[in-house]
Amino acid sequence: MNITLELIRKELLQIFRNPLIVKVIVMAPVLQLIVLVFAANFEIKNLNIGFIDRDNTSISSSVKNSFVSSGYFKLKNIKKDYSEGLKEFDREDVDIIVEIPDNFEKDFKNGLHPNMFIAVNAINSMKAGVASSYISKTMATYYKSESFLSASKNANLQSIPTIDVEYSDWYNPHLDYKSYMLAGVLCAIVTIMGILLTSLNVVREKEIGTIEQLNVIPITKSQFIIGKIVPFALVGLAQFTLGIIVAIIIFNMKIEGSIVLLYVMLLVYLLVVLSVGFLISIFSETQSQAMFVSLFCMFIFILMSGLFTPVESMPDWAQYIVKLNPLSYMIEAMRMIILKGSTFLNVIKDFSVLIGMGVLVNSMIFVFYKKVN
């Protein structure tokens, strides 16, 4: 046991001897949280809308006004016709073109269900999707507005029964993306640092030759593995705590669930990622090899985790890959605990999967790490 403690002590000494690493450990969670959470926001505002009003009636201008007052759009009047609008598309000056045809009000009043033309620039498909949903939202609001109701009173309309759908957003009533992103970004930071630090560690000992010294000393494999993983788990814990503090102070994040549970999940997760880093280190001969492999792993982990894109909207085969990704379980559990206040029983699936992965990766380390060539 003493020997393991000595290994841990030496490792921490080396980590804190390197001023750059210490700075990165401290700055990464603070800066990344602040920048990423604000930047990686799904809310899209200030969509430029080009409005072609050929009708120029009170009803067409009330439609226009409802777009402006929704707060999502920035209006740009297009004087002529659709071809002028297309040019604006080409210049990326507008994102949406709304065209109200001739005789719009007249047709409406005659009960003819006039059509309105909407074109959305779908180069950025996500933005386009969001834009479309904003448009329908805006129109839905418009149907309930005074100006529409008074207009339709005069219109020769058969009354069409409609079903009103009432939404209520649970656990995140203000649809605040920040609290949703915080949990995920925090996990991503811990992942990046964890994998990088461990994967570069053992291979560095290989490069400078100290691994031979460590291999001739009488310690067991498990002592060695613990001695190499615990120091970085401590670093991960420190980073996570720092991140939580930043989230609470700057973003007013509220942790609905138990903090103890949060840390239990974190420890289990750290076991998995640090072991993955360790495994990469065992298979690499040089630090640059280890770096490339861990970058690859980190990309897969982060992009396939449901951090930025919901897992449910991925194709089936991709969802299977997500099932192999430890980060997806961790992010899921974190969001549940922080936003929903889930208890241990709610996250027991994530917990047991992560434990299973930890055991698997560690047994691989046991098999592949050889003290004797």
Quote the tokens at residue 27: 């700055």
Q: Which CB atom, from 3 or from 30, has the smaller least distance to another protein? A: 3
Stretch of 88-96, 110-118, 208-216, 321-329 contacting another protein, by CB under 8 A: 208-216
Contact status: 218 vs another protein (CB under 8 A): yes
Q: How far apart are CA 29 and CA 302, in angstroms?
A: 16
Q: Of 301, 280, 355, nearest to 192 (Cα)?
A: 301
The sheet that has 73-77: what strands, in order across it? 73-77, 47-53, 96-100, 117-120
CB nearer to another protein: pick between 68 and 219: 219
Chain centre to alpha carbon of residue 209: 40
State which residue, 131 or 226, has the beta carbon closest to another protein: 226
The dihedral built from the CA positions of residue 301, 302, 307 and 311, taken in this order, carries a sign that is: negative
| Among 3, 30, 44, 157, contact with another protein (rule: CB under 8 A) | 3
CB of 282 to another protein, least distance (A): 16
Query: Residue 359 has what DSSP assignment?
Result: H
210 binds another protein (CB under 8 A): yes
CB of 1 to another protein, least distance (A): 10
User: Closer CB to another protein, residue 2 or residue 162?
Assistant: 2
340 touches another protein by CB under 8 A: no
Number of shown-chain residues binding another protein (CB under 8 A):
22
Alpha carbon distance, N-terminus to C-terminus of the chain: 26
CB nearer to another protein: give 219 or 237.
Answer: 219
3-state secondary structure of 72: coil
CB burial class (10 A; 0-12, 13-18, 19+) of residue 199?
buried
Binding track, positions 160-199, relative to another protein; x by CB under 8 A: ----------------------------------------
Q: Taking Cα atoms as reference points, which of 32, 314, 325, 310 lies closest to residue 182?
A: 32
Shortest approach of another protein to residue 9 CB, angstroms?
Answer: 8
Contacts of 78 (CB under 8 A, 6+ apart): 50, 51, 52, 84, 85, 88, 94, 97
Q: Does 285 bind another protein (CB under 8 A)?
A: no
Binding part of the chain for another protein, among 134-142, 213-221, 238-246, 295-303 by CB under 8 A, reads 213-221
DSSP-based three-state secondary structure for 230: helix
174: which 2 tokens?
């203000």
* Minimum distance of another protein from residue 4's CB (angstroms): 10
Binding mask 18-57 for another protein (x = CB under 8 A): x---------------------------------------
Instruction: Tell which one of 208, 249, 260, 367 touches another protein (CB under 8 A).
Output: 208
Which member of 163, 165, 216, 260 binds another protein (CB under 8 A)? 216
SS3 319: helix
Enumerate binding residues for another protein (CB under 8 A).
2-3, 6-7, 10, 13-14, 17-18, 208-210, 212-213, 215-219, 371-373
